[in-house]
Amino acid sequence: MIYRVEVSGKDGQDGAGVRAAVVEAGVPARSVRASRVFFVESTDPREAVEAKALPLLGDPVVEDARVVTATDAGTGAAEGGRLEIHLKPGVMD
C-alpha cells in the first residue's frame, strides 16, 4: 500500500510566502497552509507506518506529520480548495 504523509509547520507560518504570491496574482486567499508531501510504500499497517515514518520525515518539535487517508484528502474543499504542486522526479530547481 502507498501511504501519503503530509508534514507542515506547527505555527502555520510556512504558508505565508505562498499566500503572498497567490494574493499578488489576484486570487483572494485568507490563509494558506504549505506542506511537504511524501509517499511511503509499505506492506505494514497504517499504525506501523505512523510509528516508523512520522518521526523520520518531520521534526516533532516544530512540525506536524500525519498519514493522510483518501477521506482526509477532501479536507480543504470546505475552506475554499486545495492546490498541489508536485515536482517532476529527477528535476532540480
Cell 520525515, located at residue: 57
pLDDT tens digits, 17-27:
778 888 898 88
Instruction: Find the mean pLDDT for residues 48-66.
Output: 90
Q: How does residue 45 score in pLDDT terms, banded at 50, 70 and 90?
A: very high
Residues contacting residue 1 through CB under 8 Å, at least 6 positions apart: 41, 42, 43
